[in-house]
Amino acid sequence: MALVIQTPKKKCNCISCELRNLAFSSLSDEDIGLICEVREEISYSKGEVIHLEGDPIRYFKYLKNGLVKLYKVTENGEEQIVTVTRPFEFVSNTNVFHEEAYRYSLSALEDSVVCAIRIDLIREMIIRNGRFALNLITVLSRTAENIISLGLEIRKRNLAGRIAYVLLYFSGEIYHSRIFDLPVSRKEIADLISMSSANVIRTFSEFRRDGIIKTNGRTIEIMDMNKLEIISRRG
């Protein structure tokens, strides 16, 4: 499987950059400066692949802005979406420190910027800074827990409850608005919630008919938040 190579667009040379707000708060100014100097900010267009399953792991990555999906392609070519990741979360996959290749693919749902730091530099800092190692483990554990929780929350609901939950997730967790452009297609929603595209389309139509949502292309407006929350809870 071919390695996806991107050209760095710009570098960060600041000491007080957003890395401080991730797991890097325990690093010295000197180490933060080193990371910021060598990290690469790589821009991806909507739909562009960031890395593929099987690509070698050479960088530790986090999402600076945009939105990405983590997924696996089945033997018959179907995508299984694992999770959707928002800015300032790590997107290196959970196997980044114990395997040589990615287990999942990653692509941009929106125009996105991913920051990449050489994995050997991160390993070196883990070895000589125990507090940094603990902070990094904590953040990675939280990321894994979020992935598991999203899957469990979706799968314990029926069809209408699953779609209601996903709409509330995008509204509350991603966009913080009742009106937003849905970053995934109906097919991708079906992949995420393990239902057929036909059922997803039918449920969206029912939500529109009942005045719960309005749609205009990919733009979603939640008209009745209370009813959508009830459907999600009871689903």
Q: Does 18-153 match 157-234 in CATH topology?
A: no
> Which CATH number describes the domain made up of 157-234?
1.10.10.10
Q: How far apart are CA 22 and CA 93, in angstroms?
A: 16
- Per-10-residue mean pLDDT for the chain, 235 residues long? 44 48 74 83 94 93 91 85 84 81 93 92 91 86 85 91 95 93 91 91 96 94 96 89
Quote the pTM value. 0.81
Look at residue 4 in the predicted model and tell me its pLDDT: 46
Q: Which CATH superfamily is domain 18-153 in?
A: Jelly Rolls (2.60.120.10)
H runs (alpha helix) in the chain:
29-38, 119-128, 130-155, 159-169, 186-193, 197-209, 225-234
Query: Would you kindly state where each structural domain of the chain is located, as residue ranges?
Result: 18-153, 157-234
